[in-house]
């Protein structure tokens, strides 16, 4: 089947690996064609720690997606998270050789390249360089400097940094699973694409994605990403606490959490009890729901406070940085009962649970619009956008070529068509591809 209109997102999580195939329908909304998931065995806190198991899990998820959709998957967009991700704010400037000409793509690329020369800690590499706002000759708060005159071009950047080895390990797993890597995206950015509306990003919003192994944070204000962080705790640590606190096995702890768990201990009566079958002929265990929710509550508070600390570090109390739209919770952990109330209670900010149906077709399966698939949906959207950009460029290039043939003599000075600026991620990506090819 024709493959250039579909995109595949691969979310390599700590609890599960999801492969999702999607395309735009005739109304420009996202339609999910296939979904495959498998238990993730080789990933710990968002970082691959067992290559062989991860490859098997990826193949399993991809196979399921292929079976359910009838498409053959060749390339995927991958999400990256993990405790090694950190972000920093940095400002840089260039002095342009000729201030008589207007600022163009090349100047911005030169400026971004300068940021890449930042000295990182050993073993770290810059993943994204995201310009936030520009200054031209001291005039500040310019969002799009292209076409302006000026000698000195400055910008504030949001720089996302990750561990080289972790990124290469993910690349290795994907290549060994027989797939091509079409791109890498930071997972909180993908989730944000899927669950946040344009107005929320403008007004200011903090997206908290509670996964199995990590909790990701992305803060937007004035439509621009302002802060990202990955906190190395997630839903699994809650399950572990239940396992230890109630002396039961992990499978039972997970079921208890999903079925009876609540983040707010006040609402359970003392006499509400769950009986859990004992192991191999042992007596069944009786657990009060009040105790269960106390265990969950304590750990959720700890996770949320860590995230809240990041939001405070961003400086949300300043008038200019105020997050009017509050907090959006997504990821599997957002399905925990009463978590919205607890987050509102701790942070005092408006909170809602984010479902990834912002850009999806109306008749989408309710399973796919669950918060736990937010990252996968975001990755698919990302892949489709990339394909759209490439298609548009092809069309523009063809139009320019044909119009050049038609119009030989023209007095108007033609603007030369510039090739799309190659972002660092594309360049890093080419480097990664070469590295993997040579490693064979």
- The secondary structure of 174-211 as a DSSP string is HHHTT-EEEEEEEHHHHHHHHH--HHHHHH-EEEEEE-
User: SS3 helix, strand, coil % of the chain, rounded to 5?
Assistant: 40, 30, 30
The pLDDT of residue 416: 45
Q: Which residues share a beta bridge with 179?
A: none
Q: In this structure, is the dihedral angle defined by the CA atoms of residues 29, 34, 39 and 42, taken in order, positive or negative?
A: negative
What are the residue ranges of helices labelled H in 218-348? 235-246, 250-260, 289-314, 339-347
Distance CA 272, CA 139 (A): 64
Q: Which of 233, 160, 235 is nearest to 425 (CA)?
A: 160
Do 194 and 375 form a contact (C-beta atoms < 8 A)? yes
How far is CA 404 from its chain centroid? Answer: 41
- Counting Cα atoms < 13 Å in the Cβ hemisphere of 52 gives 0
Q: Left (φ > 0), alpha (ψ -120 to 50) or beta: where does 331 sit?
A: left
- Counting Cα atoms < 13 Å in the Cβ hemisphere of 97 gives 3
Phi, psi of 270 (to 5 degrees): -65, -25
| Neighbouring residues of 29: CB distance < 8 A, sequence distance ≥ 6 | 359, 360, 361, 362
Distance CA 34, CA 5 (A): 14
3-state secondary structure of 51: helix
Do 9 and 382 form a contact (C-beta atoms < 8 A)? yes
3-state secondary structure of 241: helix
Whole-prediction pTM value?
0.86
The pLDDT of residue 413: 45
Do 206 and 218 form a contact (C-beta atoms < 8 A)? yes
Neighbours of 359 (CB within 10 A): 19
Neighbours of 322 (CB within 10 A): 13
Bridge-based pairing of strands 86-95 and 152-163 is antiparallel
Distance CA 153, CA 216 (A): 32
| Neighbouring residues of 229: CB distance < 8 A, sequence distance ≥ 6 | 85, 86, 87, 216, 217, 307, 310
Superfamily of domain 235-295: ATPase, nucleotide binding domain (3.30.420.40)
Report mean pLDDT in 10-residue bins for the chain, 440 residues.
79 94 92 94 90 96 94 93 88 92 92 90 89 92 92 93 92 94 90 94 96 93 90 94 93 94 83 88 90 94 95 90 95 95 95 92 86 95 88 82 66 45 60 65
The residue ranges of every structural domain in the chain are 235-295
Q: Which of 163, 161, 57 is nearest to 115 (CA)?
A: 161
Q: Which residues share a beta bridge with 76?
A: 181
End-to-end CA distance of the chain: 30
Q: Which residues share a beta bridge with 43?
A: 48
Q: What kind and span of H or E run contains 19? A: strand 16-24
């Amino acid at each position: 089947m024709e493959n250039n209109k579909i995109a595949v997102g691969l979310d390599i999580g700590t609890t599960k690996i999801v492969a999702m195939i999607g395309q735009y329908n005739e109304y420009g909304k996202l339609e999910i064609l296939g979904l495959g998931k498998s238990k993730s065995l080789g990933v710990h806190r968002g970082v691959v720690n067992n290559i062989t198991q991860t490859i098997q899990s990826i193949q399993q998820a991809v196979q399921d997606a292929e079976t359910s959709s009838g498409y053959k998957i060749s390339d995927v967009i991958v999400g990256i998270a993990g405790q090694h991700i950190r972000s920093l704010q940095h400002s840089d400037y260039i002095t342009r050789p000729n201030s008589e000409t207007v600022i163009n793509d090349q100047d911005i690329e030169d400026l971004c390249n300068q940021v890449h020369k930042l000295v990182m800690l050993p073993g770290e590499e810059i993943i994204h360089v995201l310009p936030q706002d520009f200054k031209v000759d001291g005039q500040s708060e310019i969002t799009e400097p292209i076409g302006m005159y000026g000698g000195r071009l400055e910008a504030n950047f949001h720089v996302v940094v990750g561990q080289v080895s972790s990124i290469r390990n993910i690349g290795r797993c994907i290549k060994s699973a027989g797939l091509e890597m079409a791109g890498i995206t930071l997972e909180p950015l993908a989730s944000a694409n899927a669950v946040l509306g344009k107005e929320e990003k403008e007004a200011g919003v903090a997206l908290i994605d509670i996964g199995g192994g990590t909790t990701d944070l992305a803060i937007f204000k004035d439509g621009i990403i302002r802060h990202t962080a990955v906190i190395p705790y997630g839903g699994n640590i809650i399950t572990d606490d239940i396992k230890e606190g109630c002396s039961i096995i992990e499978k039972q702890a997970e079921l208890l959490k999903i079925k009876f768990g609540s983040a707010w201990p006040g609402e359970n009566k003392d006499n509400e009890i769950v009986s859990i079958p004992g192991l191999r002929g042992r007596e069944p265990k009786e657990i009060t729901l009040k105790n269960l929710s106390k265990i969950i509550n304590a750990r959720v508070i700890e996770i949320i406070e860590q995230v809240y600390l990041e939001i405070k570090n961003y400086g949300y109390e300043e008038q200019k940085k105020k997050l009017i739209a509050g907090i959006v919770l997504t990821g599997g952990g957002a399905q925990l009962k009463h978590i919205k109330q607890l987050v509102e209670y701790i942070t005092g900010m408006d909170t809602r649970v984010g479902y990834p149906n912002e850009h999806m077709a109306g008749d989408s399966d309710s399973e796919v619009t669950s918060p736990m698939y937010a990252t996968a949906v975001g990755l698919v959207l990302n892949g489709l956008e990339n394909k759209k950009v490439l298609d548009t460029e092809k069309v523009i290039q063809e139009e320019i070529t044909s119009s050049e043939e038609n119009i030989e003599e023209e007095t108007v000075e033609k603007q030369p068509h510039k090739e799309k600026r190659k972002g660092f991620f594309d360049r890093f990506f080419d480097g990664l591809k070469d590295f993997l090819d040579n490693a064979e």
